[in-house]
C-alpha cells in the first residue's frame, strides 16, 4: 500500500548533504528521506501535539520513500552575502600574561566595533538552488509488518517546505491510497538492496533515519545527539539524471530512463 502526494514547487529547492560544512553550499538534487520524515514529524507535533508526535515517530521513521522528480532539473549557482557572529579564535601566547592577553582581546574587539563588524560581520557564501519546472510526486509505504498511520494523509497536506526553510512546496490535491506505485519514473530513495543503475546517472548521498533513532534524538530541544553514520545513516542513490550542460552559473540535468542490457 502506497500513499501518493503531489506537490508544486513554489520556490527553488536547496538542501546541503549531511556531511557538508556550514560554509559549503552545494545542494542535493532531491529532498532526502530524513528531511521528508522530519517534515512529517514537524507537522505531527504542530497539529497533533508532542505526545502524538512521539507515538507516531517509529512509523514515520521507518517509512519507505519514493520520489518522482521532473524530467528537467536546473541547478542555479551563485554567491550571496551573509552575516555571521563574530568569534575570537585567538589564544594566549606563551610570552604574554593573562592581563596582556585580555587587553589585546579588548583592543581587537574595540576595532571590530568601530568597523561595524560586531556582533556580526559580513562575508560571502557559495549557494546552489534547484529549479523544478514541474510538480513532484512523493510516495510513502509502511515498513514490512507495519501499517500506514491513519493521519499520514493529514500530515502530508500540512507540509509546506522540504529541505532548507524557503524551499516552499504547495500540495496540489488530497493524497491518494494505491495498492501499487502509479506509472512514472519514481526513484526509490530508501533501497534495502542494490539495484541496476545507469553509469551516467548522478550519485547522491541521501541521509535517512536508522531504526535506532529515538524520538528524543529527533527532538531538537533535547540534549541527545544524532551521529551521522549511526542513527542518521547515508544511502548512496544513483538518480537517473545525466548532466547535459554546465557553466559557472548553472548545471542542467535531464532524466534518462534505465534500459536493461540487450534492449
Each residue of 20-47: b (16+ CB within 10 Å) or e? Answer: eeeeebebbbbbbbbbbbbbbbbbbbee
Q: Summarize pLDDT for 117-150 with one digit per residue, the tens.
A: 888 888 888 889 999 999 999 999 998 778 888 9
Secondary structure of residue 251 in the 3-state scheme? strand
Residue 20 has pLDDT above 80, yes or no: no
What fold, for 2-79+125-255? Answer: Alpha-Beta Plaits (3.30.70)
Q: Are 56 and 159 in contact (CB under 8 A)?
A: no
pLDDT, mean over the chain: 89
What is the model's pLDDT at position 55?
A: 94
What is the model's pLDDT at position 250?
A: 95
Q: Summarize pLDDT for 208-256 with one digit per residue, the tens.
A: 999 999 999 998 888 888 888 899 999 999 999 999 999 999 999 999 9
What is the model's pLDDT at position 259?
A: 61
CA nearest neighbour of 187 among 240, 130, 255, 258: 240
Q: Are 39 and 164 in contact (CB under 8 A)?
A: no
Cα 75 from Cα 160, distance rounded (Å): 21
Q: Summarize pLDDT for 60-100 with one digit per residue, the tens.
A: 999 999 999 999 999 999 887 878 888 888 888 888 888 98
Cα 189 from Cα 182, distance rounded (Å): 16
CA nearest neighbour of 101 among 110, 109, 93, 89: 93
Other beta carbons within 10 Å of 199: 6
What is the model's pLDDT at position 124?
A: 83
Those residues whose C-beta lies under 8 Å from the C-beta of residue 199, and which sit 6 or more positions away, are none
The domain limits of the chain are 2-79+125-255, 80-124
HEC-encoded secondary structure of 44-71: HHHHHCHHHHHHHHHHHHCCEEEEECCC
CA nearest neighbour of 83 among 47, 127, 118, 59: 118
What is the model's pLDDT at position 169?
A: 94
Amino acid at each position: 500500500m502506497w500513499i501518493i502526494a503531489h506537490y508544486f514547487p513554489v520556490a527553488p529547492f536547496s538542501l546541503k548533504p549531511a556531511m557538508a560544512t556550514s560554509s559549503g553550499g552545494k545542494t542535493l538534487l532531491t529532498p532526502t528521506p530524513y528531511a521528508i520524515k522530519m517534515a512529517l514529524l514537524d507537522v505531527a507535533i504542530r497539529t497533533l501535539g508532542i505526545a502524538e508526535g512521539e507515538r507516531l515517530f517509529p512509523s514515520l521513521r521507518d517509512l519507505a520513500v519514493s520520489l518522482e522528480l521532473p524530467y528537467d532539473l536546473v541547478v542555479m549557482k551563485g554567491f550571496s552575502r551573509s552575516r555571521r557572529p563574530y568569534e575570537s579564535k585567538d589564544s594566549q601566547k606563551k610570552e604574554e600574561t593573562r592581563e596582556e592577553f585580555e587587553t589585546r582581546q579588548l583592543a581587537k574587539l574595540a576595532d571590530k566595533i568601530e568597523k561595524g563588524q560586531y556582533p556580526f560581520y559580513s562575508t560571502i557564501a557559495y549557494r546552489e538552488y534547484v529549479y523544478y519546472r514541474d510538480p513532484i510526486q512523493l510516495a510513502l509505504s509502511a515498513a514490512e509488518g507495519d501499517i500506514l498511520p491513519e493521519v499520514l494523509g493529514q500530515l502530508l497536506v500540512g507540509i509546506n517546505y522540504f529541505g532548507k526553510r524557503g524551499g516552499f512546496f504547495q500540495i496540489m490535491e488530497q493524497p491518494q491510497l494505491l495498492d501499487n506505485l502509479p506509472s512514472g519514473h519514481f526513484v526509490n530513495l530508501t533501497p534495502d538492496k542494490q539495484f541496476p543503475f545507469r553509469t551516467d546517472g548522478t550519485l547522491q548521498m541521501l541521509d535517512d533515519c536508522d531504526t535506532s533513532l529515538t524520538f528524543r534524538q529527533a527532538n531538537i530541544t533535547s540534549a541527545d545527539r544524532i551521529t551521522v553514520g549511526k542513527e542518521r545513516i547515508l544511502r548512496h542513490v544513483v538518480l537517473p539524471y545525466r548532466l547535459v550542460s554546465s557553466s559557472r552559473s548553472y548545471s542542467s540535468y535531464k532524466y534518462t530512463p534505465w534500459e536493461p542490457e540487450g534492449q
